[in-house]
Amino acid sequence: MAIYKTGKVVAAMLQDDTSLLNPFEKALLAFLKRLMSYKKSAVERWLYGQRVTLEMSKRGIDKFLVLGAGVPTSGHVHQLLPEAKVLYVDKDPEVVQLGREIIGDNPKVRYIKGDIIKLRDSVLPEASDFLGPNPKAGIIFIGSSYFIPDDALKEVFSSLYDWSAPGSLLSLSAGIRNPNVPLPPSFKILVFIYALTGNKTYPRTAEQLKALAQPWKVEQTEVIIDYGEHSKLYGYLLSK
């Protein structure tokens, strides 16, 4: 069992509220704030998630599947769109438990424990049960695609494509590497910290990601954060 949870640390950073953190998580948060623009990354990624959620809503989507959701605070999907049906998924039982406490007794929102790597068998049946079979869905896959190995990620995209109806939109964030420029030490430390929680990271080039995402069509791409020559965090909006 990891002594810290990435999803909790990210939520604490977004809210400037460390009350849910254990002492080790508090120390880690202080360290990350000094290490690099980690807070800026978390905030910019969060704001990107809010922009695409609103964009999906404008395009008539009112059913959402949120993968690797973390702790649903600070204007997460069900707070932004109170009329929408939202299924949050995370593999971390403590994060799921916290999420359920935040959601409370809301029949339009459900938080389940599930592994993105086993999406087709372990998540999509419950998603169909809650959001309906073959829904026109908004799929939010922000802050977690880089924890999924290539073969599994390809299967994630393909199973979501099979499951959802035409008109569905999928948004993800992805750290895109320039393979010719080495990572600075601060990034290597971050990769190590993630690895300690069992969240090994898989850096990719834009071409590799687009190949894995097929047959989803890339509609919009934007730079969420420019870390420098070595890598950028991109937001992708894909459509079926």
Ligand X SMILES: C[S@@+](CC[C@H](N)C(=O)[O-])C[C@H]1O[C@@H](n2cnc3c(N)ncnc32)[C@H](O)[C@@H]1O
> Is the separation of the CB atoms in 63 and 135 below 8 Å?
yes
Which residue in 91, 110, 136, 240 binds ligand X (CB under 6 A)? 91
Number of residues that bind ligand X (CB under 6 A): 21
Which residue in 65, 69, 87, 209 binds ligand X (CB under 6 A)? 69
Question: Which pair of tokens denotes residue 38?
Answer: 């980690």
- The 10 Å Cβ neighbour count of residue 145 is 23
Burial of 112 (0-12, 13-18, 19+ CB in 10 A): middle
Question: Which pair of tokens denotes residue 208?
Answer: 């590799």
Is residue 70 near ligand X by the rule CB under 6 A?
yes
Q: How far is residue 110's CA from residue 217's CA, in Å, rounded to a whole number?
A: 28
Q: Give whichever of 172 and 217 is closer to ligand X, judged by the CB atom.
A: 172
Q: How far is residue 72's CA from residue 51's CA, in Å, rounded to a whole number?
A: 16
Is residue 45 near ligand X by the rule CB under 6 A?
yes
Residues 6+ apart with CB under 8 A from 37: 225
Is residue 95 near ligand X by the rule CB under 6 A?
yes
Residues 97-126 contacting ligand X, CB under 6 A:
115-117
Is residue 25 near ligand X by the rule CB under 6 A?
no
Instruction: Mark the segment that binds ligand X (CB under 6 A) among 24-32, 68-76, 126-134, 223-231.
Output: 68-76
The number of residues making up the chain comes to 240
Instruction: Mark the segment that binds ligand X (CB under 6 A) among 45-53, 97-105, 202-210, 226-234.
Output: 45-53
Residues contributing to the site for ligand X (CB under 6 A): 6-7, 10, 45-46, 49, 68-70, 90-92, 95, 115-117, 142-144, 147, 199
